[in-house]
Amino acid sequence: MASQNERLAESLIQLKKLQESHILVVSSGELTRTHQERLVANGFLQEIMKGWYVISRPEDRGDTSSFYVSYWDFINKYLYSRFKESWTLSPEQSLLLYSGNKVIPDQLIVRSPLGGNNKQNLIYDKSIFVLRTSLPMMIYKEKEHGLNIYSIHEALVMCSPSFFQNSPIEAKVCLSMIDNSRDIIKILLSNGYSSRAGKVAGALLAVGKEDFAKEIVQTMKDSGYRTKVENPFNTSIEPIHQIERSPYISRIKFMWKQMRETVVKEFPNEDSKKIKTPDQILKSIEENYKLDAYHSLSIEGYKVSDELIERVRSGQWDIEQKEDHNTRDALAARGYYLAFLEVKSSIEKILHGTDPGQTVAKDYENWYKALFTPSVEAGILKNYDLIGYRTNQVYIKGSLHTPLSPDAVRDVMPIFFSLIEQENNPAVRAVLGHFFLTYIHPHIDGNGRMARFLMNSMLTTGGHDWIIIPVEKRNEYIKGLEEASVRNDISTFTKFVSSTLHQQNQQAIFIQATNHQDFKEIMALRASGFRPSADLIKSMEKNGILPEAAKIAISKIFGLDDKSISPSDIKLAQSNYMKRDNNKSMEL
């Protein structure tokens, strides 16, 4: 009698056959019930809905990634199994896909004459709603997943006016792709859509395509229809001046323009600026390396220690040593240091007069090569793997956002760098530079580290400090990026960067005030709401600038209300500070 492991192995053989046929989504008819139940029980299949499964890994139980990666393949396969070709995604969803927005919706609207006007619940609070309604005049096949969608012209005619208000960037991208009015006019006349004609004409007029709008109105009038032109955006829209070869180019440009206004508003540009010489800036960057490397690598899931970081920086690194050769974390730490040196070199060039955007665009590839040089030396990667951008589709674990396709990446990266070059606000260059690099995700690996390097190169050359994103704030950090990617809302991420930089500045002031026994400054910090974290106090103790007596005094000051602090408390704190060794300083 076969053992449990042997039976599981038999089921895995059947699953492997499906995978070899590039099947990621499995319906109940593709595996026997026995194999299906066994694979589900052991975590190799995840149920999407009754009778439908996605291939997964046991260690990823409860993780959304497998489902999100396979979502559109599931939609296509499921809908075809129910309706054959007699279905299409809604006009609004069609326009989102045309514009390059592949965010997984909470509820997908599908149209089919065979539909039942019912909702089908899926895992992770997603659902499908199939409307029983007629199909469009023509059904187009979306290229990547083979989804049935509206033509872009009919989708613009049939979509709700609210689409232009809820998704203005996507609407603008789609309108920018319209190069004539004839296809729209045919749809309007063949169905007698006079009110829809006014909506489309108003949208075209709003983005500066006045000739197309006039042609629509005049043709409808000549055919006996009265058309009232209304702007569905309900607000003024900047005209579109050219048709881009890729919708992703238009999308990046429109997003940058919209988001920069938020960054300018939310980022207190002048408050956090500091006047420093180039040498002071470079010295500060070098002093922060150790802490920055720890947090930046930890955010990516690497396990690094102070000892490893210091060994890498001091040159005590030997690729021939088994420990260094085989350790993923050691390779990452060494690569981070080499890339850090390249970034610092670029910053030095900018501080001595070169253009920030042009310098980053020119040096960016050197940063990336340095980041993975140890992996090349270890034989894990080839030199040519580090040239250019990725050639495969990638996905971000747990994210509703799907990064751009490899072809789209090649289209938009030159535009991305040109936007940085044209931007005169260093805070905008920093925040949007970071965001768009992770949004585009041009590399198979290293996108987050490269984005933080880019952000800091723009901050430090714009009068701000190098910002360290604490690993303890990883969830908040990722949430800000996700909201910007999924909802086009950069405010949360901007506020996160700004507040983290402000808190970092306050910590630096606190450390300096502690070193100089400046209780006036310490009390001012307290009045502003600053509280030293337990980690900061621990770090100061470790570095010998906060002896026990002083720690008690600081705890007393920051643990009491203003009204409860007496002159004797301050006097005690000052006297305790005088007992410390004044020659010791803190190194972060």
| 253 shares a domain with 345 | yes
Binned at pLDDT 50, 70 and 90, residue 378 comes out as: confident
Per-residue pLDDT tens digits for 288-328: 898 899 899 999 988 777 777 776 666 665 555 555 545 77
| Domain membership flag for residue 374 | yes
Say which range, 179-183, 237-241, 466-470, has the weakest mean pLDDT: 237-241
| Domain membership flag for residue 69 | no
Can you tell me the mean pLDDT for 259-274?
Answer: 80
Q: 52-55 and 45-49 as β-strands: parallel, antiparallel, unpaired?
A: antiparallel
| 333 shares a domain with 252 | yes
| 572 shares a domain with 432 | no
* pLDDT value, residue 6: 80
List CB contacts of 140: < 8 A, sequence separation 6 or more: 148, 149, 150, 151
Per-residue pLDDT tens digits for 275-289: 789 999 999 999 889
| Domain membership flag for residue 232 | no
Percent of the chain with pLDDT over 70: 85
| Domain membership flag for residue 234 | no
Residue 360 has pLDDT above 60, yes or no: yes
CA distances from 102 to 72, 98, 188 (A): 9, 9, 28
Q: Give the three-state DSSP class for 52.
A: strand
Say which range, 113-122, 125-134, 508-517, has the weakest mean pLDDT: 508-517
401 is an active site residue? no
Q: Outline where DSSP puts E strands in 385-465.
A: none
Q: Return the CA Rg of the chain.
A: 29
Find the farthest-apart pair of alpha carbons in the chain and give their distance in angstroms, rounded: 94
- Tell me the three-class secondary structure of 373-406, residue by residue: HHHHHCCCCCHHHHCCCCCCCCCCCCCCCCCCCH
Q: What's the CATH number where 473 sits? A: 1.10.3290.10
* pLDDT value, residue 588: 26
* pLDDT value, residue 234: 80
Can you tell me the mean pLDDT for 193-215?
Answer: 95
Residue 261 has pLDDT above 80, yes or no: yes
Q: Which two tokens stand for residue 54?
A: 């996605």
| pLDDT, the chain, mean | 87
| 34 shares a domain with 109 | no
**Number of independent structural domains in the chain:** 4
| Domain membership flag for residue 530 | yes
**pTM value?**
0.85
CB 148 within 8 A of CB 113: no
| 87 shares a domain with 44 | no
Binned at pLDDT 50, 70 and 90, residue 582 comes out as: very low
Looking at 63, 92, 114, the residue that finishes a domain is 63
| 152 shares a domain with 280 | no
Residue 79 has pLDDT above 70, yes or no: yes
CA distances from 270 to 50, 254, 258, 262 (A): 57, 26, 22, 16
Looking at 503, 527, 546, the residue that finishes a domain is 503
| 96 shares a domain with 47 | no
Active-site residue among 35, 153, 441, 443? 441
Range of the domain at 545: 516-578
Residue 562 has pLDDT above 50, yes or no: no
Per-residue pLDDT tens digits for 395-431: 998 899 999 999 999 999 999 999 999 999 999 999 9
Q: Give the three-state DSSP class for 476.
A: helix
Q: Which two tokens stand for residue 537?
A: 């106090």
**3-state SS of the chain: helix, strand, coil percent to 5?**
60, 5, 35
* pLDDT value, residue 301: 86
Per-residue pLDDT tens digits for 85-120: 999 999 999 999 999 999 999 999 999 999 999 999
| 426 shares a domain with 327 | yes
Per-residue pLDDT tens digits for 427-461: 999 999 999 999 999 999 999 999 999 999 999 99
| Domain membership flag for residue 237 | no
Q: Give the three-state DSSP class for 55.
A: strand
| 492 shares a domain with 402 | yes
* pLDDT value, residue 9: 87
Q: Measure the CA–CA gap between 212 and 201, rounded to whole angstroms.
A: 7
Q: Which two tokens stand for residue 305?
A: 């220690």
Residue 271 has pLDDT above 70, yes or no: no
| 452 shares a domain with 309 | yes
Rama region for 501: left / alpha / beta (φ>0; ψ in -120 to 50; rest): alpha
Residue 82 has pLDDT above 70, yes or no: yes
Q: 118-121 and 127-132 as β-strands: parallel, antiparallel, unpaired?
A: antiparallel
Q: Which two tokens stand for residue 372?
A: 């993975």
Residue 509 has pLDDT above 90, yes or no: no
Residue 243 has pLDDT above 50, yes or no: yes
Can you tell me the mean pLDDT for 484-499?
Answer: 96
Per the annotation, binding residues are: 445-452
Closest CA to 334 of 363, 364, 302: 302
List CB contacts of 130: < 8 A, sequence separation 6 or more: 87, 110, 111, 112, 115, 116, 117, 118, 120
* pLDDT value, residue 164: 96
Q: Give the three-state DSSP class for 470.
A: coil
- Tell me the three-class secondary structure of 139-191, residue by residue: EEECCCCCCEEECHHHHHHHCCCHHHHHCHHHHHHHHHCCCCCHHHHHHHHHH
Q: Measure the CA–CA gap between 339 and 307, rounded to whole angstroms.
A: 19
Q: Give the three-state DSSP class for 46.
A: strand
* pLDDT value, residue 276: 82
Q: Give the three-state DSSP class for 130.
A: strand
Closest CA to 288 of 530, 112, 53, 460: 460
Packing angle of the helix pair 247-266, 491-515 (nearest 10 deg): 40
Q: Measure the CA–CA gap between 363 and 125, rounded to whole angstroms.
A: 44
* pLDDT value, residue 37: 87
Burial class (CB in 10 A: 0-12, 13-18, 19+), 475: exposed
| 361 shares a domain with 388 | yes
| 525 shares a domain with 497 | no
* pLDDT value, residue 586: 31
Per the annotation, binding residues for ATP are: 445-452
| Domain membership flag for residue 508 | no
* pLDDT value, residue 11: 87
| Domain membership flag for residue 15 | yes
Q: Select the more confidently predicted residue: 522 or 200.
A: 200
